[in-house]
Homo-oligomer: A and B are copies of this chain.
Amino acid sequence: MLTSSKPLSNQTLVSGIDVNDITHFLLELDALKRVNRRSYVTHTTRRENSAEHSWHLAMACWSIAEMFELDVDHEKLLKMALVHDLGEIDAGDTFLFASSRHAAHIEERAGIARLQAERGNGIANLAEIWEEQETGSSKETQLLRVVDRLLPFLLNLNTEGKTWAESEVKRSQVAAALAFIEGSFPTIHDWLTENIAYAVQQGWLIDS
């Protein structure tokens, strides 16, 4: 382990910062690990939480962006992935096929505003980055939306469709929720379409 005898930070600036504020904010963030989603982690009987999902989304966006040589800003992409579900700390996760889905963004936005103002938060543009992933149309936002749908589909497909079966989800609901991908990422949309058919064939999605 290399040690550094030179502090990383400016010592004049530091004198105005209380580390108790920083740890307060870090504990606020810890709460995202307690927000459970509907999908199960593969090879477990445990539901995925929104913190580990956010890590998976960041990694997946990064890998896919490089593989397809997409012209995206990686810093922006990763930051959007890391914060995209932070509003759920206060609002909770809303299932893609829940009737309340269209209104989820209101409580989530309020949750982001609360975190933005929390003592110890150093991220000046937290709400701005969240807003861009929520309502923007940049390439980074478009990619994030595709991968944010791909991942739970992939988990459901690899846990014998348990999440779909539990909520009696129909083929047509899944197809409608994924339809937008045909425009922005046709090759992934083709793969999803094939695998919706497979899930129906397995009896995991209702054929209607």
Contacts and interface: CB of A to CB of B under 8 A. Distances in A.
Given A52-B49, A62-B123, A68 B184 contact: no
Contacts of A5: 183
A168 interface: no
Number of copies: 2
Contact of A29 (B49, B60, B142): B60
A10 B71 CA distance: 10
Contact of A33 (B14, B41, B75, B185): B41
B41 A9 contact: no
27 contacts: A5-B183, A8-B68, A8-B143, A9-B69, A9-B70, A13-B69, A14-B68, A17-B187, A22-B64, A23-B191, A26-B60, A27-B154, A29-B56, A31-B42, A33-B41, A34-B43, A51-B55, A54-B55, A55-B58, A59-B82, A64-B122, A66-B122, A66-B123, A66-B124, A67-B120, A74-B75, A78-B79
Which DSSP category, helix, strand, loop or mixed, fits chain A's interface? helix
A41 B186 CA distance: 39
A83 B56 CA distance: 11
Interface string A20-52: 101101110111111000000111100011011
A86 to B, nearest CB: 9
Interface residues of A, number: 80
Interface string A181-207: 001111110110000000000000000
A104 interface: no
A124 B69 CA distance: 11
